[in-house]
Amino acid sequence: SIIDPLLRTGYHFQPRKNWINDPNAPLYYKGWYHLFYQYNPKGAVWGNIVWAHSVSRDLINWMALKPAIEPSIASDKYGCWSGSATMLPDGTPTIMYTGVNRPDVNYQVQNVAYPRNKSDPLLREWDKPSHNPIIVPKAGINATQFRDPTTAWRAGGHWRLLIGSVTGPAHGVAYVYRSRDFKRWTRVERPLHSAATGMWECPDFYPVEAAGRREGLDTSVSGRRARKYVLKNSLDLRRYDYYTVGTYDRRAERYVPDDPAGDERHLRYDYGNFYASKTFYDPAKRRRILWGWANESDTSADDVAKGWAGIQAIPRTVWLDPSGKQLLQWPIEEVEALRGKSVTVKHRVIKPGQHVEVTGLQTAQADVEVTFEVSSLAGAESLDPELAGDAQRLCGARGAAVEGGVGPFGLWVLASADRQERTAVFFRVFRPARGGDKPVVLMCTDPTKSSLNPNLYQPTFAGFVDTDISDGKISLRSLIDRSVVESFGAGGKTCILSRVYPSLATGKNARLYVFNGGKADVKVSRLTAWEMKKPLMNGA
Ligand code: DQQ
């Protein structure tokens, strides 16, 4: 069987056992970070959903508490689904979440919960007031597709929050609800936004500072500092999180993406396995942090056998790219405290068809940062116009093993000594598309050779990188963690998380290589790889 204990992740968030999905209500309170998440206390498949609860001082070392919210009232008897936290002006954290209140159909309502003891920094007990549910689906709303309340924001004496839903056959929609007292909520007739994408799960909506500024903003900040807004939705049909950047008209309660085609272009937080994500504002370090769930891609029989399924991605700081057109994402700085022994390679030219092993450390659990420099862009491939808009198909057609002009070049991670097993994380550069003047950069994770085990879902993931590579330079960072490869291209412009299950390249047998499958020389200007230590992880 593939159930090798060496595939269990070392520094990605997970409980000791069982199924997990969406991160819920991340918040910071009295010196502690809190993470709640969808959890099945009874097994490694989805079901019996409660809110598990963990706390941390640094977002890296975690301590598990008992579940914070479990079915206990009529309006959550059949499930406590996803939701968010809001800080009230007096400093009280509140939780809003979706309750399922009928056994036969997933009829959804929204509930609120308050901490029993505000002087407990660990917020161990949560009370559900008797006025629950506080929001129910009324006429015209699809009661079985009505869930995942956002963090509320306040302006002009009113709270507002969003609830994800679908209207008509396939319009994703974010409904706005308003309240003066956080108890009585009324729906604003027009939704904040909608698009023909299918159901919107787990919406998220927040202001960002001016382009290029890393500082985050509290969700209620408005006015000059809230230069732009980001609306994220999780696409139930396609299982990925996409976002647009735009403006928010508070009077009209409308959000308008800057790029009129933004909803069709589907800019994604992550082009891999990353779903139902949620951000929160961290007042301790004045940043906005993104949490996202990564599912397994082995079989559920394997999940049952190994006794666990699902991890959370490494928390990422998010801010607006200098172009103003997209976000940048970078692993929170705290993760660097786990770095141990390191190896650095400098000014190493990789010839066409060559690969070079990075030796002298264990790399099953590692952090790798590398900057590449390509000698010339002259030999770049031309871009098939049919695939020019579809990174995933493009990479499917030209995977890591297909020789190119400039690239494929990048890393083979979790590779066996004979390289029969290897997961490729790489770039490929194309000549400017028709009408364009910039070379097109594609970033891919190709797991098709990641394991000798045949019973795995091994999709190739890819996204375009909106970067100027005319000077030949591009960077890559990969967080490798036994069965996870989480990669950040060009300083966090394009991110790809992939789950892989090597059968040979586990533990001490996992190796790391730099490869060049193109026709142009590629120089590793600098590569540093660190072994990563194991933090305290929920008592596991
Ligand atoms: N997961 C939750 C829902 C949410 C979905 C249920 C997204 O609230 O819409 O576990 O993964």
- CATH number, residue 430: 2.60.120.560
DSSP string computed for 366-413: EEEEEEEEES-STTPBPPPTTTTT-HHHHHHHS-TTS--SEEEEEEEE
Which one of 296, 331, 366 terminates a domain? Answer: 331
Residue 154 belongs to some domain of the structure: yes
Q: What is the mean pLDDT of residues 340-346?
A: 98
- By the 10 Å C-beta count (0-12 exposed, 13-18 middle, 19+ buried), 113 is classed as buried
- Going by C-alpha positions, the residue among 317, 372, 353 that lies closest to residue 517 is 353
Ligand 1 probe mutation, 18, 19, 21, most atoms within 8 A of CB: 21
- Going by C-alpha positions, the residue among 461, 442, 366 that lies closest to residue 12 is 366
Q: What angle do CA 291, 414, 271 make, to 5 degrees?
A: 40
498 neighbors 273 (Cβ within 8 angstroms): yes
Which one of 313, 331, 349 terminates a domain? Answer: 331
Number of domains in the chain: 2
Is the model's pLDDT at 209 over the cut of 80? yes
Instruction: Say whether both 403 and 313 belong to one domain.
Output: no
State in Å: Cα 232 to ligand 1 middle: 15
Nearest atom in ligand 1 to the alpha carbon of residue 148 is 8
Instruction: Say whether both 324 and 413 belong to one domain.
Output: no
Instruction: Say whether both 428 and 464 belong to one domain.
Output: yes
Nearest atom in ligand 1 to the alpha carbon of residue 81 is 8
Tens of pLDDT, residues 418-461: 999 999 999 999 998 877 889 999 999 999 999 999 889 999 99
Ligand 1 probe mutation, 19, 147, 238, 240, most atoms within 8 A of CB: 147
The share of the chain scoring above pLDDT 90, in percent, equals 94
463 neighbors 268 (Cβ within 8 angstroms): yes
Ligand 1 neighbours, Cβ below 6 Å, are: 21-22, 38, 49, 81-82, 98, 147-148, 201-202, 275-276
Instruction: Say whether both 265 and 375 belong to one domain.
Output: no
| CA atoms within 13 Å, Cβ hemisphere of 507 | 6
Is the model's pLDDT at 404 over the cut of 70? yes
79 neighbors 100 (Cβ within 8 angstroms): yes
Using CA positions, which residue lies closest to atom 11 of ligand 1?
Answer: 276
Strand partners, 109: 99
Tens of pLDDT, residues 53-94: 999 999 999 999 999 999 999 999 999 999 999 999 999 999
State in Å: Cα 275 to ligand 1 middle: 10
State in Å: Cα 30 to ligand 1 middle: 28
Ligand 1 probe mutation, 70, 202, 237, most atoms within 8 A of CB: 202
Instruction: Say whether both 176 and 298 belong to one domain.
Output: yes
- How far apart are alpha carbons 178 and 192 in whole angstroms? 12
- How much is the pLDDT for 540? 86
- How much is the pLDDT for 220? 97
Nearest atom in ligand 1 to the alpha carbon of residue 293 is 11
- Going by C-alpha positions, the residue among 540, 534, 507 that lies closest to residue 60 is 534
Copy the structure tokens of residue 316.
């990422």
Residue 4 belongs to some domain of the structure: no
State in Å: Cα 180 to ligand 1 middle: 28
Under the banding of pLDDT at 50, 70 and 90, the label for residue 39 is very high
Active-site pick, 4, 22, 148, 270: 22
- How far apart are alpha carbons 447 and 424 in whole angstroms? 6
State in Å: Cα 117 to ligand 1 middle: 28
- How much is the pLDDT for 215? 97
Nearest atom in ligand 1 to the alpha carbon of residue 22 is 11
Is the model's pLDDT at 415 over the cut of 80? yes
Lowest mean pLDDT among 141-155, 228-242, 375-389: 375-389
- How far apart are alpha carbons 309 and 18 in whole angstroms? 6
- How much is the pLDDT for 465? 98
527 neighbors 368 (Cβ within 8 angstroms): yes
- How much is the pLDDT for 4? 82
- How far apart are alpha carbons 230 and 156 in whole angstroms? 21
Nearest atom in ligand 1 to the alpha carbon of residue 236 is 7
- How far apart are alpha carbons 327 and 317 in whole angstroms? 10
State in Å: Cα 159 to ligand 1 middle: 24
Instruction: Say whether both 256 and 374 belong to one domain.
Output: no
Instruction: Say whether both 275 and 364 belong to one domain.
Output: no
Dihedral sign from CA coordinates of 532, 534, 536, 540: positive
- How much is the pLDDT for 146? 98
Q: What is the mean pLDDT of residues 405-424?
A: 98
Q: Which residue has the higher pLDDT, 345 or 2?
A: 345
- How much is the pLDDT for 454? 87
Tens of pLDDT, residues 490-509: 999 999 999 999 999 999 99
Instruction: Say whether both 101 and 179 belong to one domain.
Output: yes
196 neighbors 238 (Cβ within 8 angstroms): no
Is the model's pLDDT at 1 over the cut of 60? no
76 classed as catalytic:
no
Residue 7 belongs to some domain of the structure: no
State in Å: Cα 81 to ligand 1 middle: 6
Using CA positions, which residue lies closest to atom 6 of ligand 1?
Answer: 81
Ligand 1 probe mutation, 108, 201, 240, most atoms within 8 A of CB: 201
Those residues whose C-beta lies under 8 Å from the C-beta of residue 405, and which sit 6 or more positions away, are: 379, 380, 381, 429, 518, 519, 520
Q: Which range marks the domain in which residue 298 is found?
A: 19-331
SS3 433: coil
Chain mean pLDDT for the chain: 96
Is the model's pLDDT at 38 over the cut of 70? yes
Residue type, 207: P
Q: Are strands 50-56 and 32-40 parallel, antiparallel or unpaired?
A: antiparallel
Nearest atom in ligand 1 to the alpha carbon of residue 46 is 10
Nearest atom in ligand 1 to the alpha carbon of residue 201 is 9
Using CA positions, which residue lies closest to atom 9 of ligand 1?
Answer: 201
Instruction: Say whether both 315 and 362 belong to one domain.
Output: no
Residue 539 belongs to some domain of the structure: no
Tens of pLDDT, residues 273-318: 999 999 999 999 999 999 999 999 999 999 999 999 999 999 999 9
Copy the structure tokens of residue 175.
């409904």
Nearest atom in ligand 1 to the alpha carbon of residue 98 is 8
Longest dimension (CA), the chain: 69
Residue 81 belongs to some domain of the structure: yes
Ligand 1 probe mutation, 18, 22, 70, 241, most atoms within 8 A of CB: 22
Residue 396 belongs to some domain of the structure: yes
Residue 400 belongs to some domain of the structure: yes
- How far apart are alpha carbons 436 and 389 in whole angstroms? 13
State in Å: Cα 535 to ligand 1 middle: 28
* CATH assignment of the domain containing 149: 2.115.10.20
DSSP string computed for 441-476: EEEEEE-TTS-S-SS-----EEEEE----TTSEEEE
Copy the structure tokens of residue 31.
């010196």
- How much is the pLDDT for 433? 80
- How much is the pLDDT for 2? 55
- How much is the pLDDT for 508? 97
Q: Are strands 80-87 and 50-56 parallel, antiparallel or unpaired?
A: unpaired
Q: Which residue has the higher pLDDT, 48 or 433?
A: 48
Tens of pLDDT, residues 102-121: 998 899 999 999 999 999 99
Kindly list the distances between the CA atom of residue 383 and the CA atoms of 267, 330, 378, 394, 410, in Å, as whole numbers in the listed order. 20, 29, 14, 9, 20
State in Å: Cα 82 to ligand 1 middle: 6
State in Å: Cα 2 to ligand 1 middle: 28
Instruction: Say whether both 436 and 293 belong to one domain.
Output: no
Instruction: Say whether both 123 and 156 belong to one domain.
Output: yes
Residue 5 belongs to some domain of the structure: no
- How much is the pLDDT for 116? 98
Instruction: Say whether both 209 and 231 belong to one domain.
Output: yes
Is the model's pLDDT at 470 over the cut of 60? yes
Under the banding of pLDDT at 50, 70 and 90, the label for residue 139 is confident
Under the banding of pLDDT at 50, 70 and 90, the label for residue 176 is very high
Is the model's pLDDT at 368 over the cut of 60? yes
Which one of 288, 315, 331 terminates a domain? Answer: 331
Q: If you ran DSSP here, which 8-state letter would residue 304 be given?
A: H
Using CA positions, which residue lies closest to atom 7 of ligand 1?
Answer: 276
Tens of pLDDT, residues 214-261: 999 999 999 899 999 999 999 999 999 999 999 999 999 999 999 999
